[in-house]
Structure 1
Amino acid sequence: MPTERAVYAVLIEDGYVKNGIIRVKIDDDKDMVDLLREIENQYNSIPTQDALIWLPNEFLFFGRSAPEALRARLADHKLSDVATPAEYEQTVESIVEMSRCQLDVQVKKTHIIIEIRRPPARARPILPEEAQLDDFIGVLAQKYKLVVAGARKCESPSVNAQSQSYNAYQGNKFPILDGRYNATAYGQTIAPPIELFHPVFAQFRANLADTEIVIPEDIVRDTASLMRSSSAIQVSEQPRTQQSWMLLSNILNQSFHQAVNFDRTLADHIYLCGDTTVDETAAVVIVEEKSELGAGGSEPSVQGSFSYLKFWADATHRQIREGCCCPSFIVGVAGPWLIVLGAVFTSQVIVQRLTDYLWLGNSRVGNDDHVLRIARILYALQGSVKELKTYYENLKSQPLKENKLHPRFFPSITSYRFNNKDVSFTYSSPLELAETCVTFLATLDGEGQKKVVVKFIQHYGAEAHKLLAELQLAPALLYVGPIDGCGVSYGKLQMVVMEYVQGQTLAHAYSDESLPGDVKMAVKKGVDALHNEDLVFGDLRRQNIMIADATGEESGGDRVRFIDFDWAGKAGDVRYPLHLASCIRDISGALEYDLIQKDHDIKMLHSL
């Protein structure tokens, strides 16, 4: 029978060591996941979904002195210096160690440290003053330079792609933004869709969905040959490498070779565009190949990401690198599996999967549909590779200058269609420095430098925004609809263009005080208007409501503007996102990915 153990813990929340000790009883054969559940049962105020268990490297007595002792250790050290992350499969018995003093009496010991790292709240950023917006460009340029310098010093792609090295790299200050993160560092690694930065990726995705495209017979035949050769089990990489890259060359209608970087690192295969307007080469496609999944201890799409980073950070590609966001395709091949990725380099490297891992094996009789599906994907890639090559052939050098706008930091979309006319605009700055930023300050061309806010998002509560704009409780909408960039389809991505409201968010204007009665009444008026039309706002916090600068004798209530409708929509139809911040859960009572209900808005309204 398992023995019931008492586990003692010190709590760290948002970097601060909390006073007091946590004590739970649990059977010694339970693991760390069970332990976190038990802690949540007994201490429901602790958000264990955001918790990480650490094991102290040195003895910490149980009692009132334990938090103070830990604070002393952390005064000159990081938590990772004084403790080790627990493995989730570790048992309670393995972490409970009883020490004995000289009198042979058992001494209670602090067995674990619980660190709570709450994800950053998703909130509309406070709109900075103009001088601060200008500073954003300098910060982005400096980050870009640091990523380049760091990439030149880092290990080779084959080393960095190993699990331990990959985890360490993703825990540093500037990880590759590919969605994978170091659990102990908890850094942000998601980014806006890469098709926003170059239309070639949008065109590729559109062609994947177009079932009307006729696939040439030679592509179908070569695809079938590639699938047949991929079905053979290979222990050594070389036989597969020779055959598959030749077939890929035929299908993509391009020649591949190996390109050695200045530090002597290289990708398995790379297709270079050398006919550029400057005396440099550009990586159009980077291919990393393994004989089988798991061979070499790394996954080819990860190794391809580091090969991309190494190539574009190399000094021999500086003019092209500083002239654009370095769009490249990455192809990962592992035995009978193939994946296509896209990559761009803004202030950091962004890598995103454009396909799932595709099964190239032949395991079913008469499986023509599968062959044609793979052929369609590879044919779409062929067209996009050709398009990207043309782009690099015509690229003009545009050096990165101090505190000057550069297109690498902004989407490539610079116009929208309104009343059968193209309305163009010029970006001024992102509205926040977060890697996830999809909202930008811009000026309309030929409109007397009229300021607007441009954002790109898949779902947008346009109906809710229009309703409140009519009540003068939201910025005027100039455009909401599909992105129409030179005939390229961007799928479900939408563009939103609205007037720029000068002012402060309620969080900034009333940071340490209650809201004035007229302001709160105006907010309630907006919520009631939405609810009367069966609409919800979803994220009713001070950060997402502005108080516009006064232009006359308006009261504070007359100047209230709701500014973030990303989650708004029909009640019971739209959902909260994954990784919902605890501050929203605690106030609204919602769980992550819950359907948004009117009651959530009402609870958040009362908390304002």
Structure 2
Amino acid sequence: MATTQDVRELPCMFARIENDELVTHPKEPTVRYGGSPDAWDFFTKPIRDTFGGDWVYLIPPAPILYGPLITLWQRVAQICEERLSPLEEWNVWDGGKYPLEILPAEQGTFIYVFLVPLNDYFRRDRLTELRLNAISSRAADSPSKGAQPSRFAAEQKRRPLAIGRPKNSSFYPIPISLLYPPFARFKKDLTSGPIEPDISPLAYKWCRELSDFFPKERYREAVFHSLLSELLGHRISKKHFSGYTTDGGIDLEFIELFGIPLLAEIKAETTCGSSDAYFEAALYHLEAIRTILLDSSLAGAWRKSRMPSILIIHNGPNIQVLGAVCLAEPYIEVLSPSLPLYFNEYDAQAMENLIRFMGGLRRLFRSILTVYEKKSTVEPVQASQVKFPCPSSYQPINSDTESSFETSTAADVEISAQANTQSMIGPSTGFSDGSVVSLGASLDSITDAVANFSIDTGSSQSNHNLSSQSSTESRTAIPFTYVDRIDSVRLVFGARTATAERIIVKFGYGHYGVDAHRAAVKAGLAPALLAFSELEGGWWMVVMEYLDSGFQSCAKFGVLEKACRTIIVESMAKFTALGYVHGDLRASNVLVRKLEGQWECRFIDFDWAGRENQVTYPLGVYCTSGLYRPLTHMDGLPITAEHDRQTIFTMLAERTG
């Protein structure tokens, strides 16, 4: 960011919002000057002293040239369109230093801030409009009839409701744990949550009373309402709305939202009735969302949240919890298995599981309830961001984060495939064009060749320590806005910071090879790692630099020329010599580009990476007709350098002309 010490007054303009667009303010149509951009308080003081009132301070994607005034508002609209940045995605300046670069005065007068009336800004509710438009495309239907399996399946073909059925192999939805983090905490609580002593007596009561036989569904309902009320501390009762009656919802003193934030679907026995309990709960939830969004008298901060909710299936003597959020439309996901309550009295493990389940459910309910309280402080979500994961800022790892373009390149280390082909001893792989690359014992020679190439990778610093270090350092979190989802089956997203810097944001579960990624960056083999954060429930977020568009994955090449293949092999050897293994060097994770006649290579996806013999493959790693793996089944096996070599050379052999 350019220095702002010499700037005493920052140009700004007043504006109004009409039809979700900025327009000129009739009383203040020309440029004004606030105070210093060094702090929000300094900038706003002269405005508050002169104009009073309540204003929202909007920052455009980039400073906008003031003159000529006659075309200013047309250019404002044009900048939004060109930068794919609708008004709602403009950042609000509400504290700290002005985040964008201040341009030299000789370049002209630029508008850095637009001041809009507070009422204008908060009157807009594009999120509700978006949701109603999406929901209205599916006609209202009686949940009890619509949940009949054949009828529900037919409707899913015409207008699917996002409930995880049927599966789509070309699209994986974003996990609900990333859309509302307390859901991730609940799932973790199911296996490792605390055993709360006060729940134990109630758990035994649940087992005894809910394992009974009930002649009518309403009798089971009454018992379950009482037991669930005892756990959650709020009365549970049937809810009536729009001609529908649910099996149970929460009674709140401050608002009535019918099936939100809790809905129960109850069956006397698993096989009772013609409708499926899961389908019926999903349809009741949909109709509850439709009803409350159409009722403008039901106001609150919850309208601009993802509207988290709990769906409880009590199917005979079993209980299961589903999580629900409302993005553009409802999304429902299974959170727990269906727990039987009629297990043997001596089955201590089953009782422990039930107590953890009940404790986690109570904590989840209390967390969700805060979203709907009158004085809720839930942060509003923008309509364009509601479909993306919840995290919207990152804490930089450290101040010396490097771009992969500023570190060493393959030429910096004297490892060349041509030289090593002659000096290294071991088996070799030949391609159809006659090029040869050494394998096997050559790894020792490669290691010797890079002995004088010093990379400080630390002493196997753990993800947890790295994350903790970041959070304790006095650095300001950097907000970002999601732009798109890059891959429909991976949790990889394109985003922009407030300074319009493009970044890549990735999410995953379990292990991430932070040390391996950082070492690869320092060796010029990977995009810069800007941040690593541990999230709720074992999830993590990684923020990386956005590579130049010249880079493409090898999966997009039918044939790779010899020089490109050589650079890829050199890069793999260089990474291996650092003592790390990657585990997933398939074509889509190897990026290349040709710049000024020279090929460059970068590796991505360090999810499984780490020290050899210290990291293992996760679940679901196996060889298929369309995806090569070194072994047929690899779940839980140690990741080795030999596996990386085999994967790379198989990929290159497939792309040799």
TM-score range, shorter chain: 0.5 to 0.7
2:398 paired residue number: none
Aligned to 1:191: 173
Cα deviation for residue 296 of structure 1 reads: 1.6
**CA positional deviation for 1:332:** 0.6
Preserved CA contact (<8 Å) 2:512 2:607: yes
1:442 aligned onto 2:427: no
1:561-580 alignment, distance < 5 Å = 561-566=602-607, 568=609, 574-575=616-617, 578=620
Instruction: Say which of 600, 603, 606 aligns to 2:647.
Output: 600
Aligned equivalent of 1:149: 136
Per-residue deviation, residues 59-81 of structure 1 (Å, max 9, x unmatched): xxxxxxxxxxxxxxxxxxxxxxx
Whether the 8 Å contact between 2:144 and 2:275 is mirrored in structure 1 is: yes
**1:411 correspondence with 2:396:** no
In structure 2, what is the equivalent of residue 176 of structure 1?
162
Which residue does the alignment assign to 1:515? 560
Residues 168-222 of structure 1 show CA distances to partners (whole Å, capped at 9, x for unaligned) of 34434544142x316xxx5667423312122322333344455545332xx4333
Which of 446, 466, 474 pairs up with 2:518? 466
Question: CA 1:400–1:274 in 2, change beyond 3 Å: closer, same or farther?
Answer: farther
Match 1:360 to one of 335, 341, 348: 341
Task: Report the CA distance between 1:166 and its aligned residue.
Answer: 3.4
Could you say if the C-alpha distance between residues 433 and 440 of structure 1 is closer, same or farther in structure 2, counting changes exceeding 3 Å? closer
Corresponding residue to 1:526 among 568, 571, 574: 571
Q: Is the 1:538–1:601 contact (alpha carbons within 8 Å) kept by the matching residues of 2? A: no
Which residue number corresponds to residue 76 of structure 1?
A: none
In the alignment, does 2:457 pair up with 1:457? no
Q: State whether structure 2 residue 219 is matched by structure 1 residue 232.
A: no
Quick one: distance in 2 between partners of 1:261 and 1:581? 52
TM-score, normalized by length of structure 1? 0.63
Kept after mapping to 1: 8 A contact 2:553/2:592: no
Judge conservation of contact 1:228–1:362 (CA < 8 Å) in 2.
no
Give the counterpart of 2:481 among 428, 435, 440: 428
> Using a 3 Å threshold, how does the CA distance of structure 1 residues 234 and 187 change in structure 2: closer, same or farther?
farther
Question: CA RMSD, aligned part only?
Answer: 4.0
Q: Residue 252 in 1 paired to residue 232 in 2?
A: yes
Distance 2:623 2:282 in 1: 29
Structure 1 counterpart of 2:261? 284
1:316 counterpart (294, 310, 317): 294
- Whether contact under 8 Å (2:259, 2:284) holds in the other structure is no
CA positional deviation for 1:257: 2.5
Q: Distance in 2 between matches of 1:223 and 1:371?
A: 8
Query: 5 Å matches for 1:28-427?
Result: 147-151=134-138, 153-172=139-158, 174-178=160-164, 180-181=165-166, 186=168, 190-210=172-192, 212-216=194-198, 219-262=199-242, 264-271=243-250, 273=252, 275=254, 283-314=260-291, 315-316=293-294, 322-361=303-342, 363-364=344-345, 366=346, 370-371=350-351, 373-393=353-373, 394-395=375-376, 405-407=384-386, 409-412=388-391, 414-416=393-395, 418=470, 420-421=472-473, 423-427=476-480
Aligned residue identity for 1:524: V
Q: What's the counterpart of residue 528 of structure 2? A: 476
Change (3 A) 1:233 1:195: same
The 1:555–1:307 alpha-carbon spacing in structure 2 relative to 1, beyond 3 Å, is: farther
| 1:476 positional shift | 0.9
Aligned residues: 450
Contact 1:322 1:398 in 2 (8 A): no
The structural deviation recorded for 1:411 is 1.6
2: CA distance, partners of 1:133 / 1:589: 43
Query: What do the CA deviations read for 1:38-94 (whole angstroms, capped 9, x no partner)?
Result: xxxxxxxxxxxxxxxxxxxxxxxxxxxxxxxxxxxxxxxxxxxxxxxxxxxxxxxxx
Which AA in structure 1 matches 2:135? V
Q: AA paired with 1:499?
A: E
* Cα distance in 1, alignment partners of residues 159 and 513 from structure 2: 34
Residues 392 and 480 in structure 2, CA contact (< 8 A), matched pair in contact too: no
AA aligned to 1:269 is G
Question: Which residue does the alignment assign to 2:441?
Answer: none
Structure 1 residues 570, 507: CA separation in 2 closer, same or farther (over 3 Å shift)? same
Superposed displacement of residue 248, structure 1: 0.9
Structure 1 residues 466, 602: CA separation in 2 closer, same or farther (over 3 Å shift)? Answer: farther
The separation in 1 between residues aligned to 2:564 and 2:539, in whole angstroms, is 34
Q: Give the aligned residue type for 2:212.
A: A
Alpha-carbon distance in structure 1 between the residues aligned to 2:82 and 2:630: 39
Query: Which ranges of structure 1 fall in alignment gaps of 5 or more residues?
Result: 1-129, 484-489
- CA displacement at 1:290 relative to structure 2: 0.7
Report the CA distance shift for 1:519/1:177 in structure 2 as closer, same or farther (over 3 A): farther
Matched, 1:495 2:541: yes
Residue aligning to 1:123: none
Q: Is the 8 A contact 1:273 1:284 kept in 2?
A: no
User: Which structure has the greater CA radius of gyration?
Assistant: 2
% identity of equivalent residues:
21
Looking at structure 2, the residues matched to 348 and 504 of structure 1 have their Cα atoms a distance apart, in angstroms, of 36
Q: Distance in 1 between matches of 2:631 and 2:155?
A: 34
Q: 1:379 to 1:419 in 2, by over 3 A?
A: closer
Distance 2:387 2:630 in 1: 40
Name the CA shift for 1:383/1:455 in 2 (closer, same or farther; >3 Å): same
TM norm structure 2:
0.59
- Structure 1 pair 273/555, CA: closer, same or farther in 2 (3 Å)? farther
Contact 1:439 1:454 in 2 (8 A): yes
